[in-house]
Amino acid sequence: MNQEVIRSTVVPVIYLLSTVLFIFGIKQLAKVKTARRGNAIAAVGMLLAIIGALLELGIVDYRWIAGGMAIGTVIGLLFAIRVQMTAMPEMVALFNGFGGIASALVATSVYWDLVVQRAPAGTVYQALGTDEAITVMLSILIGGITFTGSLVALFKLQGKLKKGQPILLPARHYITFGLLFASFAFGGIAVAAGASDSVVWVLALSAVALILGVLLTIPIGGADMPVVVSLLNSYSGLAASMAGFVIGNPLLIIAGAMVGAAGLILTQIMCVAMNRSLLNVLVGGFGVADGASGGGSDEYTSVTSCGPEEAAMILENAESVIIVPGYGLAVAQAQHAVRELADMLKARGTRVTYGIHPVAGRMPGHMNVLLAEADVPYEELLEMDVINSEFKNTDVVIVLGANDVVNPAAMKDPSSPIAGMPILNAHEARSVFVVKRSLSPGYAGIKNELFEYDNTMMIFGDAKKVLQGLIGEVKDL
């Protein structure tokens, strides 16, 4: 077969096959029983796509391609194998950033090759065509925003950058819109400019895109990072799609558009779970004390605390226990300890279930992944809608490192920043144990009135250590 037939027939068929595999893969990823197979199918689709791309090239100098892939594979492998289950959200953010910058680099490379190196005499739109020139600029813009935005999200998830608190610059909306306008202007000028003049404008566009990614993400609090990562995931799909327009490859356009749409839907699902609009999340500044926010004082007046011994005595007589996990569980790596405690209680005849808030942890499904790692039976994890009616008939609720998702202020205080957010009704149980390192506020940055309730007892300490203490006490009962 000659190269012409391969390019005109074989490669497009391979790309089509790859597209179909992506569609099947994503569809199966959305169902529990087929999810793992779906992921594998999508990976096969990707392998086919790469084979197709290499066939399309024919005989070229493979050294750089092979070298780049080898380096990328090793780094990707190391990241994927070494990352802790608890750090999954950070990992997704990081990979997402790499995907975004890759699309921007592809566009820049095409621009550099076709314009600066091959057609230094003409203008950019003459060398690339107007459509392609515009999509080059869009790729750089979206890819750049995705890259730095993802990195900021990563740092915020790690609790760096002011411990994940929103960082609010004065007049930030003006700055953001100004920069966005500037990026369109720079891109437009670059498209119209002569080849050698355009370089400085493309660099300016890249710089503005990178700054925009930072500025768009820093005002958003750590608790909203799942939404941001999901949205950035959508952006990286869009960036890949734009890169597809640049190189005229329908596979990139399709896969990118699907990921873009899927990311947007997930983002929407998460916003609904927090009872907030996407705009409200993106404007940022959520949970920053500005004097007027939140009812009442931020000081706690009547908090009861106890140790593991006392808690174990109450657990001894409990017939039903609901465990409400949160980010603190992930930080303390306490997922195995919690299952051990649950197993001991179950052996004593206690009914143990887990109440999973849709935004508990730092990603939707974060808690499910963690608890699954510790072999917690899947059917014991109950979603908010299912379990909320059960709290009032429950003897003991153990809140493990969760805060805002059990704050009754969301229901009772209309002036609270989290007013209207659906919460787990943990306060309705007969006794509530809140395992927490201190009384410091959660990511919403507000006081939790649950801690002051008469039926609440605080157990201060690291979630894992407290659980180990409880396990020891329950053993001695």
Partner 1 sequence: MTLGPLLIGIYVFVLAGFVGFEMITKVPPTLHTPLMSGANAISGITVVGAVAAATTGAPTIANILGALAIVTATINVVGGFLVTDRMLRMFGRKKPKALKAEAAGVPAEGREAVSK
Which residue from 6, 17, 65, 185 is in contact with partner 1, where contact means CB under 8 A?
A: 65
Report in angstroms how near the CB of residue 236 gets to partner 1 at its nearest: 5
CA angle 204, 209, 215 (to 5 degrees): 125
171 binds partner 1 (CB under 8 A): no
466 φ, ψ (degrees, to nearest 5): -60, -45
Site mask, partner 1, residues 210-239, x = CB under 8 A?
-------------------xx--x--xx-x
Helix (H) or strand (E) holding 244: helix 225-247
Question: Which one, of 86, 165, 157, 162, lies nearest residue 464 by Cα?
Answer: 86
Which residue from 145, 218, 220, 240 is in contact with partner 1, where contact means CB under 8 A?
A: 240
Under 8 Å between Cβ of 410 and 418: yes
User: Scanning residues 351 to 390, which ones bind partner 1 (CB under 8 A)?
Assistant: 356, 358, 363-366, 368-369, 372-373, 375, 377-379, 381, 383
460 binds partner 1 (CB under 8 A): no
Annotation marks residue 404 as catalytic: yes
Report in angstroms how near the CB of residue 74 gets to partner 1 at its nearest: 9
63 binds partner 1 (CB under 8 A): yes
22 binds partner 1 (CB under 8 A): yes
**What's the half-sphere exposure (Cβ side, CA atoms, 13 Å) at 411?**
13
CA dihedral defined by 323, 324, 330, 335, rounded to 10 degrees?
10
Task: Tell me the CA distances in angstroms from 65 to 54, 103, 137, 421, one per residue in order.
Answer: 9, 16, 24, 49
185 binds partner 1 (CB under 8 A): no
Paired with 399 in beta bridges are 324, 434
Decide whether 70 or 313 has the Cβ nearer to partner 1.
70
Residue 317 CB partners (closer than 8 Å, separation 6+): 395
Which residue from 71, 168, 289, 386 is in contact with partner 1, where contact means CB under 8 A?
A: 71
477 binds partner 1 (CB under 8 A): no
What is the DSSP annotation of 1-22? --HHHIIIIIHHHHHHHHHHHH
Catalytic entry in 298, 404, 413, 454: 404
Which residue from 144, 149, 222, 256 is in contact with partner 1, where contact means CB under 8 A?
A: 256
422 binds partner 1 (CB under 8 A): no
Under 8 Å between Cβ of 360 and 366: yes
Side chain identity, residue 358: P
Which residue from 171, 279, 292, 347 is in contact with partner 1, where contact means CB under 8 A?
A: 347
What is the DSSP annotation of 117-168? IT-TTSBHHHHH-HHHHHHHHHHHHHHHHHHHHHHHHHHHHTT-TGGG----
Decide whether 83 or 182 has the Cβ nearer to partner 1.
83
Q: How far apart are CA 146 and CA 125, in angstroms?
A: 26
Side chain identity, residue 276: R
How many residues bind to partner 1 according to rule CB under 8 A? 119
Decide whether 35 or 169 has the Cβ nearer to partner 1.
35
User: Scanning residues 89 to 118, which ones bind partner 1 (CB under 8 A)?
Assistant: 89, 91-92, 95-96, 98-99, 101-103, 105-106, 108-110, 112-113, 116-117
User: Scanning residues 283 to 322, which ones bind partner 1 (CB under 8 A)?
Assistant: none
Which residue from 152, 220, 251, 429 is in contact with partner 1, where contact means CB under 8 A?
A: 251
Binding segment (CB under 8 A) for partner 1, from list 170-178, 257-265, 394-402, 406-414: 257-265
259 binds partner 1 (CB under 8 A): yes
Catalytic residue ranges: 404
